[in-house]
């Protein structure tokens, strides 16, 4: 699988030199789409499917690669990356790519969207999950903290926020990101963002009435698949 | 102000219509940010999963509306206009428009309804801001009776709608229409009144030989209606809008692209921030939107063509 994903990367960026900034999300995305989320090309219109919202829209090549590997995107489309008329660019566009649930790139938009969808799905009586991926730099945006407070008060137990923490926040997060969630009544777990088993375990915990945060620590953005 | 004590505020018409609709439409959701939230306590008790007050968190309020729409709901979002449109504008652009989902934004406060609170509670640039994002329908009712049909139509749709409520009202009973309604016909030019400015426009033009058009829906702009009125009258157009002056100038230019014409725009002045308290009527005068100021400026505009009376 690792080589296949790397091959998909190369289709987009043309070489391996740009890998460093593209891989921080790769393992989490793979675990999500391979083992956790109830979503596939066969059920992308099913209201009971799980939703994945890539809020951290920057560097989405890993996302495209996983979507291609799972059949949402024709791998040949990856050759057109960022070209005129291509559906795939530096930021994902839900209107252009089947399976991409939100258009992102402007930071701080995905978690409020996820909270709204989790509210709607709960109002429908559905247990579908909404999983939102953010970056630790993106976590600076105030809109995230508005959404964290609301989700905690509402007890949206089928909402999961994954924060990819590769220490890119300019002012850092003293005492860690998990505490920002815990104080607002979230269950927060910090894991190795390269360790598939740790990720799987954290992402498959039984709901307990609280939204869940998974802080995925990335110490080496260019690291290999665990 | 032309509102009478016995008349119902647009805001309360909105509340009643939404409460009734929430009871019958299970795919309707309401998101508030404290403003007006107590009006919906009973509705929230009946449907707590889709009547949400997020507190004073306007960015998340818009994002949550987008998420509700993605999950198949028709969200109504409500607060004061500056906190509904200006503060979370990027969320409007990205979490609604760029996601290509619909929502109904309902604002109160208008350009300067709440004068004592000053500039922070004024939003004259709201319609101009929405003009930078494609696909918005903008309703500017001028009479409280227009609010319910406009809102019900919006609830039945799935598009992006801004309903701009105001305290100021006129007294004309005009059926709600998608485009312009012709109230008066004349030969010297066309005066367009948008929503609550109508009473001042009618008073200002009472002795002028002009066509008067009225709109409670200004986006989409009724290009064909304006063009037909100009062809039947004269290519002198006066736009009187209750928000930023010249907001619809580009629409007039598009409507009359191949017709040589003159345009005079009235609205909230752009050249300076009016730092004054007082009353809404005082601010009408300071912005040149009172009947006397309109009479003087429209007369001068038409006299320069020799076609005023």
- The DSSP secondary-structure symbol of B82 reads I
A119:B50 CB<8 A: yes
A99, A135 Cβ separation under 8 angstroms = no
pLDDT of residue A223: 42
B1 occurs within a structural domain:
no
A94:B99 CB<8 A: yes
Residue B49 and residue B90 in one domain = yes
* CATH T-level topology, domain A2-217: Rossmann fold (3.40.50)
The segment with the largest mean pLDDT, out of A14-28, B244-258, B295-309, is: B244-258
A139, A163 Cβ separation under 8 angstroms = yes
Cα distances from B183 to residues A131, B191, B221, B228, in angstroms, run: 54, 10, 17, 14
The pTM is what? 0.95
Residue B187 and residue B134 in one domain = no
For residue B63, list chain A residues with Cβ-Cβ distance below 8 A: 109, 111-113, 115-116, 143, 147
User: Per-residue confidence at B6, pLDDT binned at 50, 70, 90?
Assistant: confident
Q: Which residue has the tokens 């004269």?
A: B234
Residue B158 and residue B62 in one domain = yes
SS3 B296: helix
pLDDT of residue A224: 41
Of A123, A147, A149, the CB nearest to B49: A123
Burial A18-39 (b: 16+ CB within 10 A, else e): ebeebbbbbbbbbbbbeebbeb
- Tally of structural domains, chain B: 2
Q: Looking at residue B231, which CATH number applies to its domain?
A: 3.40.50.920
Asked if residue B152 has pLDDT above 90, the reply is yes
Residue B127 and residue B263 in one domain = no
For residue A114, list chain B residues with Cβ-Cβ distance below 8 A: 67
B63:A154 CB<8 A: no
Q: Is the Cβ of A46 closer than 8 Å to some Cβ of chain B?
A: no
Cα separation, B266 vs B268, in Å, equals: 7
Judged by phi (left if over 0) then psi (alpha if -120 to 50, else beta), residue B24 lies in alpha
Q: Looking at residue B140, which CATH number applies to its domain?
A: 3.40.50.970
Q: Which of B110, B137, B164 is the last residue of a domain?
A: B164
Burial label for A209, CB within 10 Å (0-12, 13-18, 19+), is exposed
User: Kindly report the CA angle at B22 between B21 and B26, in degrees rounded to 5?
Assistant: 110
User: Per-residue confidence at B306, pLDDT binned at 50, 70, 90?
Assistant: low
Instruction: Pick the residue of A123, A145, A151, A154 with the most B CBs within 10 A to test the interface with B by mutation.
Output: A123
For B195-216, what is each residue's pLDDT tens digit? 999 999 999 999 999 999 999 9
B292 occurs within a structural domain:
yes
How many Cα atoms sit within 13 Å of B137 on the Cβ side? 20
Cα distances from A130 to residues A47, A72, A139, B92, B306, in angstroms, run: 12, 18, 18, 21, 66
Domain layout of chain A by residue ranges: 2-217
Of A94, A112, A121, the CB nearest to B64: A112
Judged by phi (left if over 0) then psi (alpha if -120 to 50, else beta), residue A180 lies in alpha
Q: Tell me chain A's radius of gyration from C-alpha atoms.
A: 16
pLDDT of residue A58: 83
For residue B52, list chain A residues with Cβ-Cβ distance below 8 A: 119, 150, 154
Task: Taking residues A57-86, report their average pLDDT.
Answer: 92
Of A47, A116, A120, the CB nearest to B63: A116
Q: Encode B110-147 in three state secondary structure.
A: CCCCCHHHHHHHCCCCHHHHHCCCCCEEEECCCCHHHH
User: Per-residue confidence at A66, pLDDT binned at 50, 70, 90?
Assistant: very high
The whole domain housing B82 covers: 10-164
B82 forms beta bridges with none
User: Kindly report the CA angle at A97 between A94 and A102, in degrees rounded to 5?
Assistant: 20
């Amino acid at each position: 699988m690792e080589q296949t994903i790397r091959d998909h990367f190369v289709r987009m960026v043309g070489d391996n030199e740009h890998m460093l900034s593209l891989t921080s999300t790769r393992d989490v995305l793979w675990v999500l789409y391979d083992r956790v989320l109830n979503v596939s090309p066969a059920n992308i219109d099913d209201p009971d499917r799980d939703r994945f919202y890539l809020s951290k829209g920057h560097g989405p090549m890993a996302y495209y690669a996983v979507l291609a590997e799972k059949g949402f995107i024709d791998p040949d489309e990856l050759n057109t990356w960022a070209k005129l008329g291509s559906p795939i660019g530096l930021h994902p566009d839900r209107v252009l790519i089947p399976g991409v649930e939100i258009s992102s790139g402007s930071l701080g938009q995905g978690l409020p969207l996820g909270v709204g969808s989790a509210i709607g799905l709960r109002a429908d009586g559905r247990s579908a999950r909404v999983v939102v991926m953010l970056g630790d730099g993106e976590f600076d945006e105030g809109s995230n903290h508005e959404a964290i407070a609301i989700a905690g008060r509402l007890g949206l137990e089928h909402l999961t926020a994954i924060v990819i923490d590769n220490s890119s926040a300019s002012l850092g997060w003293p005492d860690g990101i998990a505490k920002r969630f815990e104080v607002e009544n979230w269950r927060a777990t910090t894991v190795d963002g390269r360790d598939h088993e740790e990720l799987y375990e954290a992402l498959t915990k039984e709901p307990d009435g609280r939204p869940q945060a998974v802080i995925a620590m990335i110490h080496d953005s260019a690291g290999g698949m665990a | 102000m032309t509102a009478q004590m016995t008349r119902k505020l647009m805001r309360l018409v909105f509340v009643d219509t939404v409460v009734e609709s929430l009871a019958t439409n299970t795919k309707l959701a309401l998101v508030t940010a404290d403003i007006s939230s107590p009006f919906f306590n009973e509705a929230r008790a009946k449907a707590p999963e889709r009547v949400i007050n997020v507190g004073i968190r306007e960015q998340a309020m818009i994002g949550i509306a987008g998420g509700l729409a993605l999950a198949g709901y028709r969200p109504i979002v409500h607060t004061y206009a500056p906190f509904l449109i200006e503060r979370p504008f990027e969320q409007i652009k990205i979490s609604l428009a760029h996601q290509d989902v619909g929502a109904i934004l309902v604002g109160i406060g208008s350009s300067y309804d709440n004068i004592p609170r000053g500039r922070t509670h004024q939003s004259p640039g709201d319609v101009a801001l929405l003009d930078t994002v494609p696909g918005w329908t903008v309703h500017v009712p001028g009479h409280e009776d227009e609010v319910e049909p406009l809102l019900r139509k919006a609830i039945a749709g799935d598009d992006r709608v801004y309903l701009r409520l105001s305290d100021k009202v006129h007294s004309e009973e005009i059926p709600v229409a998608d485009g312009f309604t012709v109230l008066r016909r004349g030969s010297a030019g066309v005066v367009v009144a948008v929503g609550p400015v109508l009473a001042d426009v009618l008073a200002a033009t009472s002795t002028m030989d002009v066509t008067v058009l009225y709109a409670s829906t200004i986006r989409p702009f009724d290009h064909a209606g304006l063009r037909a009125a100009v062809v039947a009258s004269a290519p002198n157009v006066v736009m009187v809008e209750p928000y930023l002056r010249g907001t619809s100038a580009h629409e007039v230019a598009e409507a009359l692209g191949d017709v040589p014409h003159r345009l005079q725009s009235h609205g909230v002045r752009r050249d300076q921030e009016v730092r004054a308290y007082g009353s809404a009527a005082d601010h009408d005068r300071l912005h040149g939107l009172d009947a006397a100021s309109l009479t003087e400026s429209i007369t001068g505009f038409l006299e320069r063509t020799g076609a005023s009376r």
